[in-house]
Amino acid sequence: MIKFQKLISAAFLTSLLIFNTAFTADAQRKLIFEENFKKNLHQKNWLTANGSWEIKDQALYGSKDVNWAILLANKSLPEDYVLTFSAMAAPKTYLFEVILNLNGSKFLGILLNQLENKVAIEDRSLFADLENRGTFVHSTGHIGILPKVGRTKQTDWQDWKIQRSGDQFFIWINQEAVISFKDKTGFVKSKGQFGFAINGDAAIKELKVWQIKGKDALPPKDFKSPPLLKPFFVFE
């Protein structure tokens, strides 16, 4: 009887340890935003700043007009986060851009450039005055010196994962490490909005944002992106 009670106690302690370990691991990553685009685009969650947007087959399709198609989430990003989604850009789409940490007009742009077959990170600005600027989005600082890598054009669905850990950003596409960036000057502000900019036609689905802390917020040790492309020019 005593031996049986000891076995029960040992099993209980083991189960408790596993539960506590799992809870601690889960506590490092908290889902704070999810959008499956099943019905209408809720205005409390999203702002369609420009272009046409239509939900079809649990995906959101965006098309530009004379200017970019712009979609912004009415949700502030946490300090450290993981953003995941699937995206598909039409073959003739020039740029598909992820807007990160939009504060005021400034944001960090992750650009899938299908004309030049590359992925680039740029210091960007979003302008509401179209008459003066001509389009919604422009690179406004650090022009030509932020990282970019070559990437073969793909026009099917691609799974994106973006992680911010402190002053570092890491981007994977289809589970492949693509590009990273360390903000040494601090021009990327914390929190702010996220969204998408499309110079052409593209679709987005299965979007999630996690707040990460502790070990989950540490930079990935095994991240290795392709060789960076050298800039063609640099403005002084």
Helix, strand or coil for residue 110?
strand
Burial class (CB in 10 A: 0-12, 13-18, 19+), 232: exposed
Helix, strand or coil for residue 17?
helix
Torsion of CA 192, 196, 199, 202, to 10 degrees: 180
pLDDT in tens, 110-129: 999 999 999 999 999 998 66
pLDDT band at 134 (very low <50, low <70, confident <90, very high): low
- Looking at residue 170, its pLDDT comes to 98
- Looking at residue 27, its pLDDT comes to 56
Tell me the two tokens of residue 87: 């995206």
Tell me the two tokens of residue 163: 């992680």
Neighbouring residues of 217: CB distance < 8 A, sequence distance ≥ 6: 28, 80, 165, 166
Residue 25 has pLDDT above 60, yes or no: no
What's the whole-model pTM score?
A: 0.85
Neighbouring residues of 166: CB distance < 8 A, sequence distance ≥ 6: 80, 217, 219
Residue 125 contacts residue 138 (beta carbons within 8 Å): yes
C-alpha–C-alpha distance, residues 29 and 110, integer Å? 23
- Rounded to 5 degrees, what are φ and ψ at 159? -90, 120
Q: Which of 170, 175, 174 is nearest to 147 (CA)?
A: 170
Q: Which amino acid is at 105?
A: S
Q: Which amino acid is at 170?
A: F
pLDDT band at 232 (very low <50, low <70, confident <90, very high): low
Kindly report the average pLDDT of the chain as a whole number: 87
Torsion of CA 206, 212, 216, 218, to 10 degrees: 120
pLDDT in tens, 41-57: 888 899 998 999 999 99
Tell me the two tokens of residue 132: 């003066």
Neighbouring residues of 29: CB distance < 8 A, sequence distance ≥ 6: 82, 210, 211, 212, 213, 216
pLDDT in tens, 50-76: 999 999 999 999 999 988 999 999 999
Residues in the chain: 236
C-alpha–C-alpha distance, residues 159 and 61, integer Å? 16
Rg (CA), the chain: 21
- What structural domains does the chain harbor? 30-217 (2.60.120.560)
Query: In 10 A of CB 84, how many CB atoms?
Result: 16
